[in-house]
């Protein structure tokens, strides 16, 4: 499936009593997709701002797909936060977490 035709796996919603800070970010610098990008935390909003000014980014997709993989204790699923597609066709997957939530066993994978 062409990656640029993906829709978010989950919908973004918010209410007054929740603890995180979701919202919509309009990217206008080098990415300039012409649409709003959903984020679920202030950390994700900051990533979108940084990607907006990264010269090699052509597209940003929030929660682009569900990864299903086999682990030692069975199958697991995970939805990455963002996919940034670069102008050369390659891309980067981002999982955004506050530093306090990152455990030692989580290692970055790199680009694809």
How many distinct structural domains can be found in the chain?
1
Write the CATH number for 50: 3.40.1350.10
Q: Is 14 within the bounds of a domain?
A: no
Q: Is 62 within the bounds of a domain?
A: yes
Tens of pLDDT, residues 62-89: 887 787 888 888 888 888 888 888 889 8
Q: Is 108 within the bounds of a domain?
A: no
Contact 51, 39 (CB under 8 A): no
Quote the pLDDT of residue 7: 64
Instruction: From residue 22, give the alpha-carbon distance in Å to each of 6, 12, 18, 43, 63.
Output: 21, 7, 9, 10, 14
Distance CA 4, CA 9 (A): 14
Q: Is 107 within the bounds of a domain?
A: no
Domain limits for position 34: 21-101
| Residue with more model confidence, 1 or 6 | 6
Contact 52, 28 (CB under 8 A): yes
Please report which residue ranges of 1-112 form alpha helices under DSSP H: 42-52
Q: Is 109 within the bounds of a domain?
A: no
pLDDT averaged over the chain?
76
Q: Is 4 within the bounds of a domain?
A: no
Q: Is 10 within the bounds of a domain?
A: no
């Amino acid at each position: 499936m062409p990656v640029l035709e993906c829709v978010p796996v989950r919908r973004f919603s918010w209410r007054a009593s929740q603890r995180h800070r979701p919202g919509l970010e309009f990217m206008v610098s080098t990415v300039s997709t012409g649409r709003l990008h959903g984020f679920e935390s202030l950390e994700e909003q900051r990533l979108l701002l940084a990607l907006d000014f990264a010269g090699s980014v052509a597209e940003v997709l929030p929660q682009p797909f569900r990864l299903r993989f086999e682990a030692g204790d069975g199958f697991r699923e995970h939805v990455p936060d963002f996919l940034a597609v670069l102008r050369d066709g390659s891309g980067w997957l981002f999982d955004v977490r506050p530093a306090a939530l990152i455990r030692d066993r989580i290692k970055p994978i790199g680009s694809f």
